[in-house]
Amino acid sequence: MHGRSEQTQLLDARVEQVRFAHGKRLEGLHELGIFRIRDLFEHYPFRYDDFSNIMRIIDLPLGEKNAVLGRIHEAKGRRTARGGYLYEATITDSSGMLRAVWFNQAWLADTLTVGRQILLLGKTEHYNGFLSMASPLYTLVAPQPAAADTSPRGDQQLQQVEQGPEPVGIAPVYRANSKLSSNWLKRIVLEAHKLVPEPLDPLPPGLRIRRKLVSRQAAWQGLHMPPNNEELALAHRRGAYEQVFWTQLRSVYAQKQLMQGLSGFTHQKVGSLSRALGGLLPFTLTDSQQRALAEIGADLAAPLRMNRLLLGDVGSGKTVVALHALVRAAESGWQAAMMAPTEVLANQYAAQLGPLLDELGIGWALLTSAVGASRRQELYEQLRTSGVQLVFGTHALLEPDVVFKELSLIVIDEQHRFGVEQRNSLIAKSPAADFLSMTATPIPRSLALVRYGSIQASYLDNRPQKTRTTTVALGSSVAYKAYEAVREALARQEQAYIVCPLISAPEPADGEDIPYLDDWESFSDEPYIAAAEAELAHLRTQVFPERRIELLTSRVKSEEKQRIMAEFREGRVDILVSTTVIEVGVDVPNATVMLVLDADRFGLAQLHQLRGRVGRGTRDASCFLISHNPSQGARTRLALLQKYTDGLRLAEADLAMRSEGDIAGTRQHGAGSLSLINVIRDSSLIEAAHADARELLDTDPELALAEHRHLRFELMREGSTDSN
Ligand code: ADP
Ligand code: MG
């Protein structure tokens, strides 16, 4: 056997070194993102089937998943009326009788035969007066020959006879594929444990003691071969902590490296221009705007580079907070830039904020792809010489020709709409500049930490508007109620949106994940267009023939779009039918009703953002979410939307049901790097890991101390810094 440090180095060896990891199975491993031995250990089971707690049939609680051990008393298969196959067995133990059924598995007639001992794991239900399990997991077992019986645990004298590794106890189930089954993975992981039984623990002992974390070795063993639920829980805790800890350590470290040799901008304290801006605004800031501004202000005045995310629902008033920050930059004699994902939005800044800046005498400009070549050259020159202090723009700001004299503040609005490279290419124009990003996507603090590591977050959690939007989920048989509400709103001279679904996609299966946060942002609305056109025709001819109804999709030409939007804003169009691509910046206070058709096809965050388009005026609004036959998962989501009007509460409720691995998508991170985390349940663990990473790097920035040697090795090893 290798020594501990050689074993530790083996973690970065190719996975082929493990027994059984070759040929097709190796391809299967690669498809799962497993290339090195380490990846194998970090490919955690996504589920455990708990066969450990075997209950007597008579004690089985209804509606719960449990294991029983019994004998097959009777068994028969039959064709169902619909041409399927149903296999039914009666299982008995000393306490009672249980019915088990399986569907469309004709081979069971040869395996689950009368008299065999069987271990079942399933949910107990009542069916026609019988205790029953539908499609339970099963294993055939045989009592061990008495002579060979040396096990002290009488109730577990079981021996697997039919299939691979014994699923007695707590059986891990792995994400697998056609080339590699979960059972094979289990074997390969066992082999890896033989090769690397005692890797060194990278976490310093002091930290482990303080946070009560078991060793790496215990964590990997506990997660892959849990002897019982208690050890599984301890292993899980260490695994979860570590997943967050590394993202934190990497991102804090990267941030510090970036700042090395750069002195950040120390902005002046609030001056006369900032005060004058307050007087120019037609409203006073809400409490949460003031709080956010104070947090941002403190960062601006500090020499360290600001890296802050401003989060607030649509309409919570982020723009004016950003404006205050921009003015601070100008006041300090430096430059600032604010980037938007669309031209509409950039134009809106110019239209709304420009006049205020003019009043203050601050030179500003707008840079989008619509700006002509000669004006553009002139603008480049002004930015280079600081002739212009503030610039609003789109992606056009990223052009290499855009060079600033002294850019001290960068603001990115709707930041989730930009890719990492885009964000970085703007930052690269002035790496020490204070950085503020803004988003309406509700991200609880713990998720922001996990995603963005070293970032700080400010929340706008109350809206300046006083209106309420009521959300109602309706089955399609009562969808007429929603159309009635539209009719009533139109009669009051108000307006409505009708958002159309994807018609051609398959129904999402129950439990299937609808993208949570921003994945959908990049979806094209192409598949939705046919549905929207059909709905338009239906509304025009059948439902509201006397009304003006227009259609807005990505296929509508730019000028046409502007005309439709202008007419809708002026109240000349009554109903706007659209796909989900309702442009950013659509702000029509007189629209008070929204219908979302086939709402179960959309994600929570998407529905929340959509409904933010109504209720922007002085009147209360309503949003109807219509669906037929939603799956259980969809029904739960729609119920959450009815219950929570606040984006953050909503996100928390949604996130409580998911692991971060589901949300962030394991794609960017390699094999399930945050799969153990649930950002709501584990929020205190996340805070702890974040604090620990910061503290470590504050006291030992280069991890040069002897006790941090393994930590440093792990941080610096090849490939560990490409994420983030
Ligand atoms: P978002 O956070 O979605 O970017 P905006 O910044 O566009 O929201 O603000 C939404 C609307 O609310 C704007 O018309 C803005 O002028 C207005 N607004 C912002 N702050 C206040 C406030 N404190 N009181 C009243 N209205 C406000
Ligand atoms: Mg905004």
Q: What is the pLDDT of residues 74-99, one digit of tens each?
A: 999 998 888 889 999 999 999 999 99
Nearest of 398, 458, 448 to residue 428 by alpha carbon? 398
Answer yes or no: do 104 and 147 share one domain: yes
**Residue indicated by tokens 């109350």:** 462
Dump the DSSP string for 338-407.
EE-SSHHHHHHHHHHHHHHHHHHT--EEEE-TTS-HHHHHHHHHHHHHTS--EEEESGGGGSTT---SSE
Q: Are residues 77 and 2 both part of a single domain?
A: no
Does one domain contain both 566 and 621? yes
Domain count, the chain: 5
The answer to the question of residue 654 being in a domain is no
In short, whether 408's Cβ falls inside 6 Å of ligand 1 is no
Q: What letter does residue 155 receive in the DSSP assignment?
A: G
What does the buried/exposed string (b/e) look like for 679-715 if buried means 16 or more CB atoms within 10 Å of the residue's CB?
bbebbebbebbbebbeebbeeeeebeeeebebbbbbb
Q: Is 286 in the pocket of ligand 1 (CB under 6 A)?
A: yes
Measured from the CB, is residue 617 less than 6 Å from ligand 1? no
Taking 60 as the threshold, does the pLDDT of residue 71 lie above it? Answer: yes
Q: What's the pLDDT at 510?
A: 38
28 vs 161, higher pLDDT: 28
Tell me, rounded to whole angstroms, the distance of Cα 330 from its chain centroid. 36
Pick the ligand that lies closest to the CA of residue 315. 1
Q: Does the pLDDT at position 26 exceed 70?
A: yes
The 10s digit of each residue's pLDDT in 612-650 is: 888 888 889 999 999 887 677 778 888 999 998 888 888
HSE at residue 253, side-chain half, CA atoms within 13 A, is 23
* Higher per-residue confidence, 519 vs 116: 116
Output 381 or 461, whichever has higher pLDDT.
381
Q: Among 161-175, 316-330, 554-568, which stretch is predicted with the lowest mean pLDDT?
A: 161-175
- pLDDT value at position 82? 81
Residue to substitute in 280, 283, 439, 463 for testing ligand 1 pocket (most ligand atoms within 8 angstroms of CB): 283
Residues 393 and 445 in one domain: yes
Q: Is 437 in the pocket of ligand 1 (CB under 6 A)?
A: no
The mean pLDDT value for 655-672 works out to: 47
Q: Which atom of ligand 1 is nearest to the CA of 352?
A: 16
- Is the model more confident about 208 or about 152? 208
Residues 254 and 276 in one domain: no
Do 426 and 540 have their domain in common? no
Q: Are residues 511 and 593 in the same domain?
A: yes
Least confident piece of the model among 46-50, 100-104, 573-577: 46-50
Distance CA 125, CA 99 (A): 10
Are residue 418 and residue 496 in the same domain, yes or no? no
Range of the domain at 220: 210-260+682-724
* 661 CA distance to ligand 2 middle (Å): 29
Q: What is the pLDDT of residue 277?
A: 96
- Lowest mean pLDDT of 7-16, 511-520, 683-692, 699-708, name the range: 511-520
Per-residue pLDDT band for 670 (boundaries 50, 70, 90) equals: very low
- Tell me the three state secondary structure of residue 718: coil
Instruction: Give the model's confidence band at 374: pLDDT under 50 very low, under 70 low, under 90 confident, else very high.
Output: very high
Ligand 1 centre distance from Cα of residue 296 (Å) = 18
In a domain, 266, yes or no: no
Specify whether 39 is located in the same domain as 154: no
- Ligand 1 atom 18: residue of nearest CA: 317
318 lines ligand 1 (CB under 6 A): yes
What letter represents residue 559's amino acid? E
- 3-state per-residue secondary structure call for 23-56: HHHHHHHHHCCCCEHHHHHHCCCCEEEECCCEEC
pLDDT value at residue 606 = 77
Name which residue sits closest to atom 15 of ligand 1, judged by CA.
317
- Is 267 part of a structural domain of the chain? no
* Distance from the alpha carbon of residue 319 to the mean position of ligand 1, in angstroms: 7
- Tokens in use for 636? 């739960």
Mean pLDDT of the residues in the chain: 84
Q: How many CA atoms are closer than 13 Å to the CA of 357, on its beta-carbon side?
A: 28
Hey, which bits of 128-209 come out as E strands? 130-134, 137-143, 158-160, 170-173
Please give the share of the chain, as a percent, with pLDDT higher than 90.
46
Pocket probe mutation, ligand 1, options 293, 320, 587, 613, max atoms within 8 Å of Cβ? 320
Please tell me if the CB atom of residue 289 comes closer than 6 angstroms to any atom of ligand 1. yes
Q: Specify the range with the lowest mean pLDDT, choosing from 12-21, 99-108, 606-615, 698-707.
A: 606-615
Residue whose C-alpha is closest to residue 65's, from 121, 118, 9: 121
Q: What CA–CA distance (Å, rounded) separates 525 from 537?
A: 19
Residues 541 and 500 in one domain: yes
pLDDT given at position 674? 66
Q: Residue 444 is part of a domain; what is its CATH number?
A: 3.40.50.300
Kind plus residue range of the DSSP H or E element containing 677: none
Indicate whether residue 440 lines ligand 1 (CB < 6 A): yes
pLDDT in tens, 154-212: 333 333 333 333 456 788 888 888 888 888 999 999 999 999 999 999 999 999 999 99
pLDDT at 663: 45
Q: Which of 184-188, 473-477, 516-520 shows the lowest per-residue confidence on average (mean pLDDT)?
A: 516-520
Classify residue 323: in a domain, yes or no: yes
Q: How far apart are the first and last CA of the chain?
A: 36
